[in-house]
Structure 1
Amino acid sequence: MAVTVNEMDGAELERLIETGAKVLADFYSKTCGPCKMLGFVLGDVAKEVDGVEIVKVCFEENPEAVKAHGVEGYPTMILFEGGAEKARLKGLQQKPLIVSTIAG
């Protein structure tokens, strides 16, 4: 049981969402302190969960994806399943909340 955290662009994210897979997308900024800390938290989350794709989408490099998903700030995590948004977490969150959100 473990998944990897992958960087992807907006187009790759859309293709992944369209497959209906369970996807946790972390919209982040490279200059954001809480975003960097969340990266470490997601690394720990990835060790405990299965059946989900965890992806990071850079806020500045993917403005179309940010707009398409109504992301207003960073870090913002959106859980997609079956091609639709299932949950949204804003700001730096702790591992137990992220794991329980994925477990749904």
Structure 2
Amino acid sequence: MLKEVNSEEFKELAGKGLVLADFFSTTCGPCKMLGFVLKDVEKEFGDDLTILKVDFDQNKDLTAEYGVTGYPTLVLLKEGEEVGRLQGLQQKPVIIKLVEEHK
């Protein structure tokens, strides 16, 4: 599942299974490119991975809570605990490797 969420929805979904949080900005070119990559990653994992898109500017509480200082930033959570992080535009194989390591 690939879904844009607010803070409340994030807190609801982040503790369930394997979750990849994409902290992005609507004005960020690399963030937009990463969005296309994440659609491919979603196809790869199906229901085994939830991808939550978090707007950096509209969810300052979450960016502070997770210590996100730039975008795009991917934070991998397993049962609500951070198990991995990638910063900047990433290619599909790098993201898949990160998720596979924590399945």
Query: TM-score surpassing 0.5?
Result: yes
- Deviations 1:41-80, CA, capped at 9 Å, x for gaps: 0011111113110110000010001001100100000000
Please give the residue correspondences for 1:50-89 in structure 2 after superposition, counting only pairs within 5 Å.
50=46, 51-89=48-86
* Alpha-carbon distance, 1:14 to partner: 1.5
CA contact (8 A) 2:15 2:78 kept: no
- Using the size of structure 2 for normalisation, the TM-score is 0.92
Structure 2 CA distance for aligned equivalents of residues 62 and 22 of structure 1: 21
Q: Equivalent residue for 2:45?
A: 49
Structure 1 gap segments, 5+ residues each: none
Q: How many pairs align?
A: 100
For 2:62, give the aligned amino acid: A
> Where has structure 1 moved over 4 Å in runs of 4 or more?
none
Tell me which of 9, 12, 17 is aligned to 1:12: 9
Percent identity, aligned pairs only?
48
Structure 2 gap segments, 5+ residues each: none
- Deviations 1:61-104, CA, capped at 9 Å, x for gaps: 10001001100100000000022000000000000010111111
What SS does the aligned partner of 2:14 have? helix
- Deviations 1:21-52, CA, capped at 9 Å, x for gaps: 21000000000000000000001111111311
* Alpha-carbon distance, 1:16 to partner: 1.4
Q: Equivalent residue for 2:30?
A: 34
* Alignment RMSD: 1.0
